Amino acid sequence: MRSLLNTLRAASAILWKDLRSEWHSREMLSAMLVFALLVIFIFNFALSLDSGTRANVTAGVLWTTLAFAGSLGLNRSFNMEREQAGLDGLLLAPAERTAIYLAKLGLNLLSMLLTAAIIFPLYSLFYNTNLLYPQLVLVVLLASLGYASAGTLLAAMAVQARTRDILLPILLFPLILPLLLAAVKFTGGILAGTAFAELRTWFDQIVVYDLIFLGLGIMLFDWVIEE
């Protein structure tokens, strides 16, 4: 119990350090938001469709935007440690390596949720689509957690590679395909007015994905970061 509390305290300290650094630079969040907004604008003008057809593609557009914007944040979360030689300091700190993973996971999750909180109202404005559903908020939270869990682990693997900016998306997108599929299906169903009971399979798939990759991240991060 004491070890767990120490790990959580260390993770909180690292997360707070990252949040302060991001607040001063705003590099990661700015890149994610600008990219997400560009994708929304491009889809808005490229998909000159009737309202019914637009409603059918809403879920796909939203999750495509979040997935690609999130990959920028994943890269940046470890790159800033590498550029400032901070990663070695974190590894030498008298704390469990899991604390680093949890802190970076928290940073990536918060970045994705903030990006979603900004682009969803804009999407509603451009596409004239109501996205204010409690079930949709829940699935965004859970799917973002799964995305950040898997992505943070892969970002730690790719941070030392010269081609990390290219390597991370290549590793990430095939791995998160089941999560994105479930999120798109669930979101599309909610927007279409489908009952939650009929979408339960997709919801359960998201929850299981979260549990698997959060567990894998906690178990494997120590080995991954050493390599």
Domain span at 174: 2-226
Stated pTM of the model: 0.88
- At 20 the pLDDT is 81
Residue in the block written with tokens 């178990």 = 219
How large is the average pLDDT for residues 191-208?
Answer: 91
- At 71 the pLDDT is 84
Distance from C-alpha of 84 to C-alpha of 65, rounded to nearest angstrom: 29
How large is the average pLDDT for residues 51-73?
Answer: 79
Give the pLDDT confidence of 2-52 residue by residue, as tens digits. Answer: 666 777 787 888 788 878 877 776 677 777 788 888 887 777 776 665 555
Give the pLDDT confidence of 110-139 residue by residue, as tens digits. Answer: 989 988 888 888 888 777 777 878 888 999
CB burial of 71-100 (b: ≥16 within 10 Å; e: otherwise) equals bbbbbbbbbbbeeeebbeebeeeebbbbbb
Most confident range, picked from 47-56, 67-76, 143-152: 143-152
Q: What domain count does the chain have? A: 1
